[in-house]
Amino acid sequence: MSKAQLFKIKQAIADEQWEKALNLIEPSVSELQNNSQLNYFFVLSLYKTKHYLESLRYANDQYNFYISSLKTQKLYFSILLACQNFLDAYAFLENLKQVHGENVTNFTSELADKEAEVRQQKVTLNQKLKKFYHLGDLSITASHDVLQESKQLPATEYFQAAQFIFLDPFVHPLIRATVLENVISLKLSQKIQFYWIDKQNHEVDLAKLTRILDNQIQRKFNKLLQQRLANQDPILLEGIVKDKNLYLSYVYPFADQVFKTPELWVNYWIDDYYGRAHANTLENQTISKWQKKFQTLTSELFEN
C-alpha cells in the first residue's frame, strides 16, 4: 500500500468516515494478516458500521496485537460483547490476567451487564438453551453450529446445560470434550461428573483441568515427533500430529490413562504408516485396541 493511500485511510478514520475507510482498505484486504495498523483500521471501521462478526474474524487474525495494548483490548472486547460471544470474552479476560497481569475489573463489569441484558431476552435465551441441551440428538455438523451459538449463553446458563451434556452418552466424545474445554475459561472450582469413552461416569475437578493440548503428554508427543520426523518425513509428521490432536480430544480429560508411554505410541504410529509389523507385546496390543476405538470414533464424525 502506498503512503498516499495510507494517509487517506488515516484521514477517513480521523473524520469517523467508516464506510469510506472500508472502501479504501478493501483493495488491500490481503495485507491485513501481516499489517497490524491496517488490520486495526479495518476492524475498527467494521465495528463502527456494526459488522460485528466480520470484525471479530479479522481481529482474530491478529489476536496477539489486540491483546497488547489497552486501546486494542477495549476494541476487541467490545466486539466480543457486540457478538454476545461470552465464552470467548471470559477466555480473553483470563488471558489478560494470566499472561499480561492486567486488572480486568472494568471489563468484568461490562461483561456482567451484557449477560444481564441477554437474560432479559428470555425467548431467545431459552431457544439457544434448548438446542444446547439436545446436542446428543444432532449430527456432528449440526452440533458444531450449536456449539458456536452456545457461546452466546451467559456463563451460569452455559454451565448448567454443560453438566447435562457431560453425562449424555449420545454426545460424540469430541463434542463433549469441546464443551468441557470451553468450561475452563469460566474458572470454576467445583467437581463434576463426566461420561468418558469407557462408558463410565468419572469425577473431574474443574480447578485442576487444563486445555486439551496443554499437558505434559502433549509436550512429550510433540518433542518425540519432531525428533523422529521433522527432517525425515515432514508430511507424515503433519498427518500424525493432526490425528494425535484428535485422539487427545477423544480421551480428554484422562489422556494420562491412555498415553502412558508416548514413545511406544509414536513407534506404533510410524510403523503403522510404513506398513511394518508391530512387535507382539502387551503394550502394542493395548495400543492396537485404543487405535481401533479412535478409528471408530473418527468414522462416526464423517458418517454424521
Q: In which band, very low, low, confident or very high, does the pLDDT at 143 lie, cut at 50, 70 and 90?
A: very high
Q: What is the pLDDT of residues 176-185, one digit of tens each?
A: 999 999 999 8
What is the pLDDT, as a whole number, of residue 190?
A: 94
- The CA-atom distances, in angstroms, between 134 and each of 128, 146, 187 are 10, 10, 24
* Predicted pLDDT of residue 218: 97
State yes or no: pLDDT of 18 exceeds 90.
yes
3-state secondary structure of 187: coil
pLDDT at 104 (0 to 100): 87
User: Residue 98 has what pLDDT?
Assistant: 79
Q: Kindly report the backbone phi and psi dihedral angles of residue 204, in degrees, each rounded to the nearest multiple of 5, phi listed first.
A: -125, 130
Which position has the grid cell 492486567? 102
Q: How far is CA 21 from CA 27, 29, 183, 204, 235, in A?
A: 11, 12, 38, 50, 42
Query: Residue 162: pLDDT above 70?
Result: yes
> How much is the average pLDDT of 283-301?
95
pLDDT in tens, 221-251: 999 999 999 999 999 999 999 999 999 999 9
Q: 52-74 pLDDT, tens per residue?
A: 999 999 999 999 999 999 999 99
Instruction: Provide the pLDDT for residue 2.
Output: 85
**pTM of the entire structure?**
0.89
Cell 494470566, residue?
98
Three-state SS letters, 123-163: HHHHHHHHHHHCHHHCCHHHHHHHHHHHCCCCHHHHHHHHH
